Chain A
Amino acid sequence: MDERYRPSPGTPVEELDTPCLILDMDALENNMRVMADYYRDRPCKLRPHIKNHKSPIIAHMQIRMGGTVGGVCAAKVSEAEVMVEGGIQNVFITNQIVTRDKIARLCALARQAEMIVACDDPRNARDLSEGAQAAGATLGVIIEVETGLRRCGVQSPRQGVELARLIQTLPGLRFRGVMSHQVIGGTPDRETRFTEGRRMVQTCLDARDAIEAAGIPVEIVSSGETWTYDVAGEIPGVTEVQGGTYILMDTSYRYMTDFKYAGKVLGTVISTPRPGLAIGDAGLEAVGNLRGLPTVEGAPGVTVKALDAQHTIMQLEGDSRLSIGDKFALIPAQQDAMVSRWDRFIAVRRGVVEAVWDIPGRGRHN
């Protein structure tokens, strides 16, 4: 969307031109409230992951709602820059930052805000230490522990202990704790979620135990995400949970029924070439198909059959009808991938535009 076509607050949704990215404010607030209510009186707190919405204004709303550590997670140095510029004072980059330029930017941020970074490699720890010293800053460091994701992270408690010992000795660094990130496939029931979640988080706690047994205090155990928010939140020893998806939600998390769909793409039917087929103006460039095709909201007889770069190919069944000019809303299977295609959110409450918010972190891959 171009600056010239930014809709005014008060505009009815039906008058929005499409495609556009919609934020349903009632759903968004519901999702923030569920998390705040859960964490408010627990020792474990939420640290919202902002890598999906990439917007300081939403990060501030998340923190204000309560139940958080008072800071956020980010995935990239550039996202952390956006957050710190936007007034967030405490950022944990849940990834390894390895190049010299990026380490320098990270340490520059650490002069302005409390910065924590994930680490899984001794040489990287030394590079971080050099960068921090050069900048006259202190970096918090959290060791990432592999718990089944087969991605980054130390592979055993012993490796964790060795790395923690090293970090403790390095000037400019402050060892803060351990983290892990877990995924689960399909649509698990509650029991499976709890069993699998506890099992994976335990691997992270095993690393913590080993590090503490070596005489090194572990202040933070950051383990958990939207699908384990109520699992990890109850495991003694877990101090914070990284939740991101919950705020916008998507159909791949449809089993997390406490949360409502808040992020959607609005489209318009542009062609009805034959009965049973309607073509819309929101395609891969607008919504994406990672983890599956999007779902048409509130229209059980309408199915997205395919997406090409610019078009929605929809199949109509039964009494379903769509005419040229009709609007429809798509709920993504993966909200993160959807938002990363947009520069603005249109915040809508009960059918009326409430605000238009830039997404300053979009495209900040570096």
Chain B
Amino acid sequence: MERPVYQPIGTPVERLDTPALVVDLATMEQNIEALHSFFRSGPARLRPHVTPHKCPTIAHLQLAAGGTVGGISVSRVGEAEVFTSAGFSDILVASEIVTRPKILRLCSLAHRSRTTVAVDNPRNLRDLSEAAQSSGVTLHVLVDINVGMDHCGVEAGRPALDLAKEATRSQGLRFAGLMAQLSQPSTIEGEWDAGKAIQPVLDTRELIERAGLEVETVSVGVTNDYEIVGAMKGVTEVRVGSYPLMDYSHCQYVGTRHASPPRPSARVLATVVSHPTAASAIVDAGHKAIGPDLGLPVLEGIAGARVTRLSAEHGILELQGDAQHLFDVGARVWLIPWDLGLCVNQYNYFHAIRDGKLEAVWEIAARGRTD
């Protein structure tokens, strides 16, 4: 795993060894406050999706900021184990869990915390029910509704109702409601109506309630449209993941719609290791230190400098004009990841700074827990 070179608390950030994943606490706190203040006034509550940062310390700060359901959501059983151990008592695994070893681990967690899981298939429902009964626990299930993307989820309407009925009948399970994941449009252009996309879920809620079942929870995962979805009657909780740390792709989208948009608080600190020509500089952060699967990182605030490609251990910068004089060998460079989750996935620690000085080193405890 990552083994940072020890630096005392208070060390100026420029003295940190590189590449390092650094989070600016003041910016992160502003980002958290902005989103949580929206949800503090209801009616829907926030369920922070902690998979992008995988860090219990940050997740505790999120719950402390109010406006939440008091619980979190994750994508993996392995992540649920880490966060249960870190003291979280209400965890939604927002994905289908189908293998027997994982289902049994889920039941083990349900002994100690309220554990909820997504379901979209009757056979899976039976497997969950059997395991919950033999373990002597109750698993909460949310029927996962597909809202028009190539992804998990049962169709809205009748198929969802049938699954809800079966969940209600299943021993060891408690039908807790519905969930859906809204996809993020890949660009900000074009018609995108989050409200319209989520309407089939709300219609299904009515259908199920008319059939005499209680729908306690309607949980919607969004990347950016939390205000629209959070204001919709019938949505009880909104899962948002990116906001504490942000990244370049989310800033592009959200930035167009807010007066004071959230800013990226997590960045990678890198060092120039070679300046072979006037027009190029090479830094020590390549794709293994950035996770650029969805897009290249961005060098912000330096006109004339941009990242043009990443090899495994090198970032290649193209320099024009005055920027050609700013990248001597040894100079520090800040890179904003395009997608934060994939960047965090490459590290074991956040270096938390305030006013340019190291304040804490936080473990990314659920990193690698894709199991």
Contact = CB atoms under 8 A, between A and B. Distances in A.
Contacts of A121: 274-275, 329
Contacts of B348: 363
Interface string A97-136: 1110110010000000000000011011000000000000
Contacts of B369: 1-2
A109 B329 CA distance: 23
A277 B154 CA distance: 13
A18 interface: yes
A290 B313 contact: no
Given A285-B341, A309-B341, A340-B346, A120 B276 contact: yes
Contact of A285 (B123, B276, B370): B370
A324 interface: yes
Interface in B277-301: 277, 280, 282, 284-285, 287-289, 292-294
Contacts of A311: 95, 151-152
A306 B1 contact: no
A75 interface: yes
B18 interface: yes
A176 B297 CA distance: 36
A60 to B, nearest CB: 21
A313 B150 contact: yes
B89 interface: no
B345 A285 contact: yes
Contact of A155 (B52, B277, B289, B330): B277
Interface centre among A18, A150, A306, A342 (most CB of B within 10 A): A150
Interface residues of B, number: 67
Interface string B54-95: 000000000000000000000110100100000000000001
Contacts of A96: 273-274, 282, 329
Interface residues of A, number: 67
Nearest to A100: B330
B311 interface: yes
Contacts of A151: 274, 276, 282, 311, 314, 316
Interface stretch (B98-106, B198-206, B252-260): B98-106
Interface string A145-156: 010001111110
Interface in B14-68: 17-20, 51-52
A288 interface: yes
Interface stretch (A234-242, A251-259, A265-273): A265-273
Contacts of B313: 51, 75-76, 95, 365
Contacts, number: 184
A17 interface: yes
A270 B371 contact: no
Contacts of B342: 284-285, 309
Nearest to B151: A279
Contact of A310 (B17, B76, B294, B329): B76
B346 A268 contact: no
Contacts of B282: 96, 151-152
A20 B294 CA distance: 22
B146 interface: yes
A151 B124 CA distance: 51
Interface string A281-318: 11011101110000000000000011111110100000
A56 to B, nearest CB: 15
Contact of B285 (A123, A362, A365): A365
Nearest to A75: B313
B293 A289 contact: yes
A120 B207 CA distance: 70
A324 B277 CA distance: 54
Interface in A309-351: 309-311, 313, 324-325, 336-337, 340-343
Given A313-B151, A365-B2, A325 B341 contact: no
12 contacts: A5-B101, A95-B314, A99-B18, A105-B5, A152-B273, A152-B282, A270-B98, A281-B370, A337-B288, A341-B345, A364-B2, A366-B17
**Interchain residue pairs A-B with the least CB separation, the first 6:** A363-B2, A271-B152, A152-B274, A96-B273, A365-B289, A270-B96
Interface of B: 1-5, 17-20, 51-52, 75-76, 78, 81, 95-99, 101-102, 120-121, 123-124, 146, 150-155, 271-277, 280, 282, 284-285, 287-289, 292-294, 311-314, 316, 329-330, 341-342, 345-348, 368-371
Given A273-B155, A309-B52, 12 more contacts: A5-B371, A17-B99, A99-B17, A105-B5, A154-B276, A269-B98, A271-B120, A325-B98, A341-B345, A363-B347, A364-B3, A365-B347
